[in-house]
Amino acid sequence: MTRRGTYYRGGLSAALALFTLIAPTTAPAQEVAKGKVDLDEATGRDVRYNTQDAMYLANEEWLLYACELPAGQTDIGSDFNNDSYWYSRYNLGNLLFRSGMGIHMVHNPLFKKHAVEDKKPDGTAMFPTPKDFMKFKIRQFCARTGVPCRFDAGNMENPKAFPPKGAFPIFLEFASGSPRFTQPPVPGDFTTLRWDPASMDRTIMLGAVGQTLLKQVLWAEDFFAYHRKGPNGEQWFGNDKEYGNGFRGAALTAQCITKMFTLKSALVYDPKTGKFGGIDPATYDPMQGLRYHPHAIRANLAMKPGMPPMPTKWEVVDRSSHLADQASLLWGASEFYFYSDPTVKDSFDGVFGDQGDHKTKGAMFPAVPHKLSKGLSVVAFKNMMALHFDKANGTFHGVAEPGKKSGTIATADAGVALAALANAQKRLHDGPPPLLAGIKMAIAAQGSFLRDKLQGADGGFHASYVIGKGPSGGKKQLLSQGLGIRGLLAAYSATGDASFKSAAEKGYAYMNNTLWHHGAGTYRSEVGAKVSSYTPRSVGATLGALRELALLRSGDERKSVVKRIDAFFAATQTQRRQQLAEIDPTGEPIPAMAEMMKMKAQLKAVMAKDPARGKAMMMKMADVDGDGVPKPGMAGGDFGFAPVPAALIKVDTP
């Protein structure tokens, strides 16, 4: 077995406090999002950021760049390889370290556990507060990855020191919010890159948490692709070509671990009591007492001076279980299991294990998270089967509650479930035989139902199917085609059943014959659409399907699929600006503040004398490379947008 290995080009700006506490910028707990839509009047886009959809797109973009095959990374030849990599990267960093749109790391229960249980030889607390443990880990990360720590004397103003200035690391992400900046953005100061707290929907959605977990693991794997050694032979983790990769990987790994620990120990819902608690995956049997992670929860947040908002009590917002949520958790947890697997001999082995001397020897993390990720994977799969699977009809139901299934399955949900199950089958390679047999059975059953019931005779996929009755009516949609193909090809990879591949090819022919619009250079969002609407989920589904189809081909046949990828990516991500902004790695250099002020003064003078010339100058300043995606501070609104995807864009497809 091999792990993917790429390297991160460029990096997070280095300035103060990744895990340190900063003056909170989050609104009081009683404030809620002002609305679910944030319309940019200049472009007609809904610029709101929806975490689950955006993270799913980011995952498919990353996989488009680093297509994993048995031999490792494969470049399929897309013109947008670099953009896919970096748009995915921008999405990750802006949500997790800049936006403030989630619960701060200092409040996770694992850090609290260390503060209570870790003792010195004399019996006193080794870490009196969670903040003390957090600082200890930061120093460890810096020492082991070869970067200066900002907490050390003389490094407060060191531009190469870690952690970055004003960063707000989160371990549980909120459902959505507006990525509009509330003040002029300064790249080196993350406090200026916060999103409006009053715009945030503070609901914690399991699907968003699961997709973010997957995103974090994929990038941690990337950052730890190589090891290097310091001047005295000490081992540093990261890539010797790229400064700070090890620290970035360590930070993401810590977020993964605290997220999984919280899900296992505190956020499992007991429908009989209506309370949250923990679970023992080794003994959990849903038939003896169902407990699961519900679709949506929310924390009551307490405000304390000088501290980020602290969760005090968890409440259920929606107690139902969604198939795509459970699948997303399974997908992320099973990927972490592989990442932390000691039986796979590679450069990750030093990241988990005996910690020894945290400064120069031993692993950065203990081996325990490997078992934790396996446990979460098992719980997610058992609950998928107990709550959602319909043995008589050989399919999952999309939504369920204890003792009640929805009676329908959406093609999109079936596709996500198959992708997650196929990943789990591959990553949980040494799992108990009954577990692996159950996963394979579920893949074969859902793949067959997708092929036989959700796909029409013309090759197109229905949006959904009512169990026992038939497919839903209405026009066939791009989202369903993308995830229908994605799911069938996942089933093919897991089972070797060639009928799944044939059905996927039939679906691709339908997409090209029925949905492709030559004039717009894109797929219509549904059959006959005069104006097509795209969400990050529908774009991610389409890119994922095309990528998997391209990987099955070679030569000119692959090139023809890649041309579709490039045209679709350009039409949605750059020309119509679903990607709200970009920075230097994808063509938009950000000048120093003094230079920026000088440029703005020049622009103001030109605008006063020649408005037409001034407008052209402004457009050039905003979009240096001319691809349609401007730099953050000039992307729109009062102060610009973060470089993340918009919730909805529209393209004319007459």
Summarised one tens digit per residue, pLDDT across range 265-300 is: 999 999 999 999 999 999 999 999 999 999 999 999
Instruction: Please work out, in degrees rounded to the nearest 5, the angle formed at the alpha carbon of residue 392 by the alpha carbons of 211 and 426.
Output: 35
Is the pLDDT reported for residue 441 higher than 80? Answer: yes
pTM, 2 dp: 0.93
Task: Determine what percent of the chain is predicted with pLDDT higher than 70.
Answer: 92
Is 22's pLDDT higher than 70?
no
Degrees to nearest 5, angle at CA 348 with 344 and 354: 95
Nearest 5°: the CA angle 518, 569, 414 is 95
Angstrom distances, CA of residue 621 to CA of 126, 360, 596, 629, 633: 52, 46, 10, 11, 11
- The Cα–Cα gap between 504 and 488 comes to 6
Q: Which of 2-11, 182-191, 577-586, 608-617 has the highest mean pLDDT?
A: 577-586
- Measure CA 260 to chain center: 15
CA angle 642, 48, 175 (to 5 degrees): 100
HSE value, Cβ hemisphere, 13 Å, CA-based, for 278: 12
pLDDT at 593: 65
Ranking 235-249, 284-298, 353-367, 451-465 by mean pLDDT, the lowest is 353-367
Residue 143 has pLDDT above 80, yes or no: yes
Please report how many Cα atoms fall inside a 13 Å half-sphere around the Cα of residue 11, on the Cβ side: 24
With residue 593 as reference, give the H or E element that holds it.
Answer: helix 593-609
Q: How much is the average pLDDT of 163-191?
A: 93
Which H helix or E strand runs over 416? helix 411-427
pLDDT of residue 225: 78
